[in-house]
Amino acid sequence: MSKYFNSFYKELTPYTPGEQPQDKKYIKLNTNESPYIPAPGVIDVINSKEAADLRLYSDPELKPLKAELARAYGVEPKNVFVGNGSDEVLYFAFMAFGEAGLKFADITYGCYKVFAAVNGLKTEIVPLKDDLSLDPSDYMDSGKAVVIANPNAPTGMTISLEDIAEIAKSNAGSVVMIDEAYVDFGAESAVELTKEFDNLLVVQTFSKSRSLAGARVGYAIGNEELIADLETLKFSFNPYNVNRLSMAAAVEAVKAADYYKDACGKIAATREWTTKELTKLGFTVLPSKSNFIFAKTPDYDGKKLYLDLKDRGILIRHFDSARISDYNRITIGTQEDMETFVATVKELLAK
Ligand SMILES: *Cc1c(COP(=O)(O)O)cnc(C)c1O
Answer for the pair 110, 32: CB distance below 8 angstroms, yes or no: no
How high is the pLDDT of residue 18?
A: 83
How high is the pLDDT of residue 21?
A: 85
- DSSP sequence for 189-254: --GGGGGT-TTEEEEEESSSTTS-GGG--EEEEE-HHHHHHHHHHHTTT-TT-S-HHHHHHHHHHH
Averaged over successive runs of 10 residues, the pLDDT of the chain (351 residues) comes to 95 89 90 97 95 97 98 98 98 98 97 97 98 98 98 98 98 98 98 98 98 98 98 98 98 98 98 98 98 98 97 96 95 98 98 87
Rounded to two decimals, what is the model's pTM?
0.97
What is the crossing angle of helices 335-350 and 257-280, to 10°? Answer: 20
Give the whole-angstrom CA distance, residue 176 versus residue 97: 9
Write the residue with the smallest CA distance to atom 2 of ligand 1: 181
First to last CA, the chain: 46
Q: Is 217 in the pocket of ligand 1 (CB under 6 A)?
A: no
Q: Is 207 in the pocket of ligand 1 (CB under 6 A)?
A: yes
Residue 114 burial (CB count, 10 A)? 17
Q: Is 246 in the pocket of ligand 1 (CB under 6 A)?
A: no
- Across the beta sheet with 200-205, the strand order is 80-83, 218-222, 200-205, 176-179, 145-149, 102-105, 123-126
234 CA to centre of ligand 1 in angstroms: 18
Q: What are phi and psi of 197, to 5 degrees?
A: -115, 115
How high is the pLDDT of residue 24?
A: 80
Q: Is 218 in the pocket of ligand 1 (CB under 6 A)?
A: yes
From the number of C-beta atoms within 10 Å of its C-beta (0-12, 13-18, 19+), residue 74 rates as exposed
How high is the pLDDT of residue 22?
A: 84
206 CA to centre of ligand 1 in angstroms: 9
Answer for the pair 302, 318: CB distance below 8 angstroms, yes or no: yes
**What are residue 200's DSSP bridge partners?**
176
Give the whole-angstrom CA distance, residue 145 versus residue 222: 15
Q: Is 85 in the pocket of ligand 1 (CB under 6 A)?
A: yes
- DSSP sequence for 101-114: -EEEESSS-THHHH
Closest Cα partner for 268 from 242, 251, 288?
Answer: 288
How high is the pLDDT of residue 144?
A: 98
How high is the pLDDT of residue 234?
A: 98
